[in-house]
RNA sequence: GGGCGGUUAGCUCAGCUGGUAGAGCGCCUGCUUUACACGCAGGUGGCCGCAGGUUCGAGUCCUGCACCGCCCACCA
């Protein structure tokens, strides 16, 4: 073996070998009927890997490899997402450099361009997946726009349409004037802005006074169709049912009462603009108000704004205010800071506009998806995210699913010249209503998340009844960051329940969001992110995986190269101890032939670590696993076992050699899910191996040694005391004395004879324990085992103290 | 406005159903030449955010408060 471990060559070689030998394929190594399925969240085809993706892959791959070694039929599914608006916008930015836009290309020209673009930028992500060592079944890679998947999405649309839950309607929509498409509520991002709140008098139609309203958007006054007050508001009770005159347009509109009005805000009277505000829209529909629109798709005043047409809202607002001020209707104005919705992608201010869009009603879909989490069929880890999911699901509103872009699944609706709709999976020959053959397909495409929602089964061949679908649905664990609980997780749950009658996965693991070393959110656009290759290249995949898993928890985690450095040291340590054992193995073959204390002890320790790791992995806790492995390797295996057995290895003890090889095998197996490459590389150096480590059995516990987990406690205590004080403590057996001599080498110890400090320490421990045991209420009320433990501690301290003082 | 999370060693963080504080890194000291200085051994270092409460006993449970962060939100 090379004295120095160089991950770069080794890792790449194994990644290729495993894949070529088919060991990443679903079912590899399986010997039990259960399946373990992980759908890796499909990355945007337009993007590149972030360090957060590497964390996610590390978590998933560790669970997958662990399951594979335990004999499960595992499927780790890879794929890409076409990422509608995201890709659309990315291409827009590229085109802008040539002074063009997407729409300049025309629909077909755009299709051609996007294919070329994907060929150029699409391939890097999967090679980065491989670099991490993610054992995805690459041969099954799916794309959310491939033919089969496309068909699934269209089937889903038609299904919902026939259910009556998808409909086309003029509703208030979120319109991004820059991207020129509608957005769902989840694609908005609030942004704080400084506005002015104007208090404007609306004269009563009969001239008997006026009602004052507050607004930050005076331009929308042109589209006011009512004033609303709270029904219980004493101030306005008498005015309900009467009329006011809207300033500037001088239109008579009613005063209505609606409980959605906040009495505390402004004057308690609200101008109602159903065409340009979500709340006003609701009030308008409830009261049958007119829905006027005065703002166009470009965000400027439209033709309906009359003489103000073409002006910006700012300009139009100033004109309206000026008009009102001249007539003494401006009561006052004050600066006002508030959050307004913006497009999460381009940060333009989103216009709420009434427009014709496709909607999906959510009530019927949400009910079973709520039940699935309430009754524990779908579990969240950490649990608190179940509430986040439920709160959203219980208050979910209609989902706007149409987008006015050209990249995505085109809505399967055809219009005839008379405006009849035909909804079919395949292009119909004639209008279903009038028989007209002159059909035109809907221009809009579907929201990206409408298709992602099908991921857990569309990737398996749905709507066909494939063997994969039968075997691998539902999946096991979905690992994701918390930012897509609504966008994706929730939608997968309800689509799976609706189409297959079964939840898509049993566990949702919400892992840490990685922050940069300063504790700030990483952002590609701000350049505060970490390029995964900056870790993978110098440290290697094993170290990177280990380092990321170490810091992940139920909280956000700061990324740091320190933990990756620790992983690197672990890999090197493993490499070196393997060299020690292999160089001194002679012609021994791995066999559990324990004869002496240190061997039974290390086998017991490995078993205990395995049990601990199993427990944590079953609970989807990854960070504690790295700690268990680290201490097992460094402290138990290297610093104690290897040191203790070393003289016997040198001396040609066959049993010691055979057992050392067997113990090393088990250690490698335990580490493999986290650090697959270095462990597999060492594995191939072992004299006997029946298979690749990646598909070798997870170590079974050996009851013969479970009692020996603490066999070295006395020796370790004696060593501790000796190293601190140079005082020799009596040991009970020859084995113990031999191990002590092998591990505790006086010439490598400070041994400054500081027995006094040790005696003082033990005396204070004895005093503390005596104090507790003298407390009658403690002895009476504490559980028996706690009191016993305290007594044992006291006895041990007294024993050690006696040994020290006697010497 | 509503909700959630955090506050523990110089730094980054563990501490499950309450039993008298841990890890890694850093720092100090001493050890190298038959696995590894990418190493070994030892050590220093904590009113567990603040104030109350429950309890024989609180980092852990309860109530308030203070900062920091996140999510949701139609107060126009």
pLDDT, residue A777, reads 81
Mean pLDDT over A39-43 rounds to 94
Q: Is the CB of A170 under 7 A from strand B?
A: no
Our measurement of CA A722 to C1' B43, in angstroms, reads 14
Q: Is the CB of A556 under 7 A from strand B?
A: yes
The DSSP bridge pattern shows strands A351-360 and A166-176 to be antiparallel
Query: What would the pLDDT profile of A566-610 be if each residue is shown by its tens digit?
Result: 999 999 999 999 999 999 988 888 888 777 889 999 999 999 999
Positions 529-548 of A with beta carbon below 7 A from strand B are none
Q: Is the CB of A768 under 7 A from strand B?
A: yes
Q: Which residue's CA is nearest to the C1' of nucleotide B43?
A: A724
Our measurement of CA A491 to C1' B19, in angstroms, reads 46
CB A181 within 8 A of CB A86: no
pLDDT, residue A304, reads 87
Ranking A149-153, A248-252, A450-454 by mean pLDDT, the lowest is: A248-252
Our measurement of CA A344 to C1' B3, in angstroms, reads 22
Helices marked H in A251-333: 278-287, 313-326
Positions 249-268 of A with beta carbon below 7 A from strand B are 260-266, 268
Residue (of A136, A131, A56) closest to A533 by Cα position = A131
Q: For chain B, which bases have at least one atom within 7 A of a protein Cβ?
A: 3-6, 12-15, 19-20, 23-25, 29-32, 34-36, 38-43, 55-57, 69-76
Ranking A264-268, A525-529, A555-559 by mean pLDDT, the lowest is: A525-529
Q: Is the CB of A195 under 7 A from strand B?
A: no
On the question of pLDDT at A806 being above 70, the answer is no
CB A492 within 8 A of CB A378: no
Ranking A134-138, A158-162, A257-261, A517-521 by mean pLDDT, the lowest is: A517-521
Our measurement of CA A786 to C1' B18, in angstroms, reads 12
pLDDT, residue A345, reads 83
Identify nearest nucleotide to residue A624 by CA to C1′ distance: B14
Identify nearest nucleotide to residue A778 by CA to C1′ distance: B56
Our measurement of CA A338 to C1' B45, in angstroms, reads 47
DSSP tag of A360 = E
Our measurement of CA A516 to C1' B50, in angstroms, reads 30
Query: What would the pLDDT profile of A295-346 be if each residue is shown by its tens digit?
Result: 989 888 988 888 888 889 999 999 999 998 999 989 898 888 888 899 888 8
Positions 599-628 of A with beta carbon below 7 A from strand B are 623-624, 627
Positions 474-503 of A with beta carbon below 7 A from strand B are 482-483, 486
On the question of pLDDT at A792 being above 80, the answer is no
Residue (of A631, A498, A543, A666) closest to A10 by Cα position = A543
Mean pLDDT over A516-520 rounds to 80
Number of continuous H segments (helices) and E segments (strands) in chain A? 27, 25
Our measurement of CA A385 to C1' B67, in angstroms, reads 25
Mean pLDDT over A626-645 rounds to 94
Q: Is the CB of A393 under 7 A from strand B?
A: no
Strand, helix or coil at A454? Answer: coil
End-to-end CA distance of chain A: 47
φ and ψ at residue A380, rounded to 5 degrees = -100, 140
Positions 404-463 of A with beta carbon below 7 A from strand B are none
pLDDT, residue A525, reads 64
Q: Which residue's CA is nearest to the C1' of nucleotide B72?
A: A392
On the question of pLDDT at A182 being above 50, the answer is yes
CB A676 within 8 A of CB A694: yes
Strand, helix or coil at A69? Answer: helix
Our measurement of CA A340 to C1' B60, in angstroms, reads 42
Mean pLDDT over A763-775 rounds to 76
Identify nearest nucleotide to residue A638 by CA to C1′ distance: B35
Our measurement of CA A412 to C1' B74, in angstroms, reads 32
On the question of pLDDT at A498 being above 90, the answer is yes
Overall pTM > 0.80 = yes
Our measurement of CA A389 to C1' B75, in angstroms, reads 25
pLDDT classification of A549: cutoffs 50, 70, 90: very high
Mean pLDDT over A177-202 rounds to 89
Q: Is the CB of A392 under 7 A from strand B?
A: yes
Q: Residues near A395 by Cβ (< 8 Å), separated by ≥ 6?
A: none
Positions 722-751 of A with beta carbon below 7 A from strand B are 723-724, 747-750
Residue A128 or residue A785, greater confidence = A128
**Reported ipTM:** 0.94
On the question of pLDDT at A168 being above 90, the answer is yes
On the question of pLDDT at A635 being above 90, the answer is yes
Our measurement of CA A339 to C1' B74, in angstroms, reads 12
Our measurement of CA A384 to C1' B5, in angstroms, reads 10
Strand, helix or coil at A21? Answer: coil
pLDDT, residue A751, reads 47
Q: Is the CB of A798 under 7 A from strand B?
A: no
Share of chain A above pLDDT 90, in %: 53
Rounded Cα–Cα distance for residues A603 and A659 (Å):
9
* DSSP codes of every residue in A707-721: GGGGTTHHHHHHHHH
Our measurement of CA A480 to C1' B14, in angstroms, reads 23
DSSP tag of A204 = B
Mean pLDDT over A703-730 rounds to 84
Rounded Cα–Cα distance for residues A497 and A372 (Å):
9
Mean pLDDT over A615-636 rounds to 94
pLDDT, residue A807, reads 54
Identify nearest nucleotide to residue A631 by CA to C1′ distance: B23
Q: Is the CB of A573 under 7 A from strand B?
A: yes
Q: Is the CB of A213 under 7 A from strand B?
A: yes
Our measurement of CA A784 to C1' B56, in angstroms, reads 14
Mean pLDDT over A178-192 rounds to 88
pLDDT, residue A769, reads 77
Identify nearest nucleotide to residue A279 by CA to C1′ distance: B74
- Helix, strand, coil percent values for chain A (each to nearest 5): 50, 15, 35
CB A246 within 8 A of CB A202: yes
Q: Write out the E strands in A497-628.
A: 505-510, 514-515, 557-558
Identify nearest nucleotide to residue A572 by CA to C1′ distance: B38
Our measurement of CA A152 to C1' B52, in angstroms, reads 61
* Mean model confidence pLDDT for chain A: 89
CB A94 within 8 A of CB A57: no
Residue (of A483, A642, A656, A516) closest to A573 by Cα position = A642
Share of chain A above pLDDT 70, in %: 97
In DSSP terms, which residues pair with A44 in a beta bridge? A81
Our measurement of CA A133 to C1' B16, in angstroms, reads 32
pLDDT, residue A753, reads 55
Mean pLDDT over A693-720 rounds to 88
Identify nearest nucleotide to residue A637 by CA to C1′ distance: B35
């Amino acid at each position: 073996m090379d004295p120095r471990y160089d991950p770069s060559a080794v890792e790449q070689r194994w990644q290729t070998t495993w894949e070529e030998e088919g060991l990443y394929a679903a079912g590899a190594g399986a010997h039990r009927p259960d399946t373990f399925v992980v759908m890796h969240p499909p990355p945007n085809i337009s993007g590149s890997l972030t360090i957060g993706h590497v964390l996610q892959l590390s978590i998933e791959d560790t669970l997958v490899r662990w399951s594979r070694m335990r004999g499960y039929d595992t499927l780790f599914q890879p794929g890409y997402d076409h990422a509608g608006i995201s890709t659309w916008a990315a291409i827009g930015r590229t085109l802008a450099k040539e002074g063009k836009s997407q729409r300049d290309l025309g629909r077909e020209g755009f299709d051609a361009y996007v294919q070329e673009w994907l060929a150029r930028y699409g391939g890097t992500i999967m090679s980065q997946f491989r670099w991490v060592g993610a054992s995805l079944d690459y041969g099954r890679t799916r794309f959310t726009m491939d033919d089969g998947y496309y068909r699934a999405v269209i089937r889903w649309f038609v299904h919902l349409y026939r259910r009556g839950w998808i409909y086309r309607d003029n509703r208030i929509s979120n319109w991004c004037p820059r991207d020129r498409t509608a957005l769902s509520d989840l694609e908005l991002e609030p942004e704080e802005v400084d506005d002015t709140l104007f208090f404007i008098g609306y004269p009563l139609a009969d001239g008997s006074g006026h009602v004052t309203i507050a607004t930050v958007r005076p331009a929308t006054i042109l589209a006011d169709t009512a004033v609303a007050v709270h029904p219980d508001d004493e101030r306005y009770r008498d005015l309900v049912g009467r009329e006011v005159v809207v300033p500037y347009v001088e239109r008579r509109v009613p005063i209505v009462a609606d409980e959605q009005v906040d009495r505390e805000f402004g004057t308690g009277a609200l101008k109602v603009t159903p065409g340009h505000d979500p709340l006003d829209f609701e009030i308008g529909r409830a009261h049958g108000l007119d829905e006027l629109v005065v703002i166009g798709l470009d965000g400027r005043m439209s033709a309906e704004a009359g003489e103000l047409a073409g002006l910006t809202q700012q300009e139009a607002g100033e004109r309206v205010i000026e008009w009102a001020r001249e007539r003494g209707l401006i009561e006052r104005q004050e600066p006002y800071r508030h959050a307004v919705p913006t497009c999460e992608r381009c940060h333009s201010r989103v216009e709420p506009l009434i427009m014709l869009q496709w909607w999906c009603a959510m009530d019927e879909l949400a009910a079973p998806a709520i039940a699935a989490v309430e009754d524990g069929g779908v579990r969240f880890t950490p649990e608190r995210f179940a509430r986040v999911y439920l709160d959203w699901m219980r208050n979910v509103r209609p989902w706007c699913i149409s987008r006015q872009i050209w990249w995505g699944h085109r809505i399967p609706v055809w219009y005839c010249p008379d405006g009849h709709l035909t909804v079919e999976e395949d292009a119909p020959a004639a209008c279903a209503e009038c028989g007209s053959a002159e059909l035109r397909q809907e221009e809009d495409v579907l929201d990206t998340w409408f298709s992602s929602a099908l991921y857990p089964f569309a990737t398996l061949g749905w709507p066909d009844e494939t063997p994969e679908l039968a075997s691998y649905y539902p999946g096991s664990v979905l690992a994701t960051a918390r930012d897509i609980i609504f966008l994706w997780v929730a939608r997968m749950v309800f689509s799976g329940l609706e189409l297959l009658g079964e939840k898509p996965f049993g566990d949702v693991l919400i892992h840490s969001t990685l922050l940069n070393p300063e504790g700030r959110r990483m952002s590609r656009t701000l350049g505060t992110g970490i390029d995964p290759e900056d870790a993978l290249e110098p440290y290697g995949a094993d170290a990177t995986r280990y380092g990321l898993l170490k810091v992940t928890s139920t909280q956000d985690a700061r990324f740091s190269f320190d933990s990756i450095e620790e992983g690197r040291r672990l890999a090197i340590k493993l490499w070196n101890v393997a060299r020690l054992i292999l160089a001194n193995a002679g012609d021994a073959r791995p066999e559990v032939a324990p004869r002496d204390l240190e061997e039974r002890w290390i086998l017991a320790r490995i078993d205990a670590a395995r049990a601990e790791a199993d427990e944590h992995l079953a609970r989807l806790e990854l960070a504690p696993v790295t700690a268990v492995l680290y201490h097992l390797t460094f402290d138990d295996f290297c610093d104690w076992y290897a040191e203790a057995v070393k003289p016997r290895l040198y001396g040609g003890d066959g049993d010691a050699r055979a057992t050392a090889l067997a113990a090393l095998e088990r250690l490698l197996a335990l580490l493999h899910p986290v650090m697959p490459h270095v462990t597999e590389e060492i594995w191939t150096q072992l004299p006997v191996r029946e298979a690749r480590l990646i598909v070798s059995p997870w170590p079974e516990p050996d009851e013969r040694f479970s009692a020996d987990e603490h066999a070295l406690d006395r020796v370790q205590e004696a060593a501790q005391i000796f190293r601190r004080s140079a005082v020799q403590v009596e040991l009970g057996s020859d084995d113990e004395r031999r191990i002590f001599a092998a591990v505790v080498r006086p010439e490598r110890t400070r041994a400054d004879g500081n027995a006094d400090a040790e005696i003082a320490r033990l005396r204070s421990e004895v005093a503390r324990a005596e104090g507790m045991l003298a407390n009658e209420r403690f002895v009476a009320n504490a559980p028996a085992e706690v009191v016993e433990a305290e007594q044992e501690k006291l006895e041990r301290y007294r024993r050690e103290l006696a040994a020290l003082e006697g010497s």
